[in-house]
Amino acid sequence: MASMPDSLDFPFHATGEYNVYPSRLYASSYSIIYLQPKIGDVCPYAPETIDVTKLEHPLLTVVVPGAFTPTCTENHIPPYLTTTAIDSLQNAGVKTVLILSVDSPFITRAWGDDLTRDKPEVLKYVQEGYIKFVSDAGAQWLSEVGLNSNSTDKQGKVTYVGTDLKRGSVEKSGIEAVLSALKK
């Protein structure tokens, strides 16, 4: 068996409105299989553009600085991905939950798949579109609105903004703070 190189370079190409830049895949003790696509192959996943004005409101947008980051993966998002939290959000009137990452749509999708893999009771909400893992690659939208975590009412007006400035904190953007704000 041939040994793996220290790293593999491979290009991603811009798709739709998303700019995906060349990345570097680092080999480690894990096995990495890189399959070269052939002309005519169907891409198993292509990102789509979401128009937030057409989503059902009230809308909750939970923004994370990056998929697979320790705080976001272990402390911030998992509490949103419980049936108790989903029931509470629905009871508070939230019609759509967006979990927004500044990573590429492919990384964001993989992260969403990873977070819901062993949670069939939550995965159904993702499949139905109640919870959406979305990408703001390059943080264009975030730059325009300057939000970390927010909730909008039926008219699309922002009703809560929870920004955590302390590293690792989810005090203002976590599920408890959001549910508390929705009750007011």
Catalytic residue numbers read: 72
Contact 134, 108 (CB under 8 A): yes
Residue type at 124? K
Strand-pair partners of 9: 24
The DSSP code for 162 is -
The DSSP code for 24 is E
Residue type at 88? S
Residue type at 51? D
The backbone torsions φ and ψ at residue 134, rounded to the nearest 5 degrees and listed phi first, read -125, 155
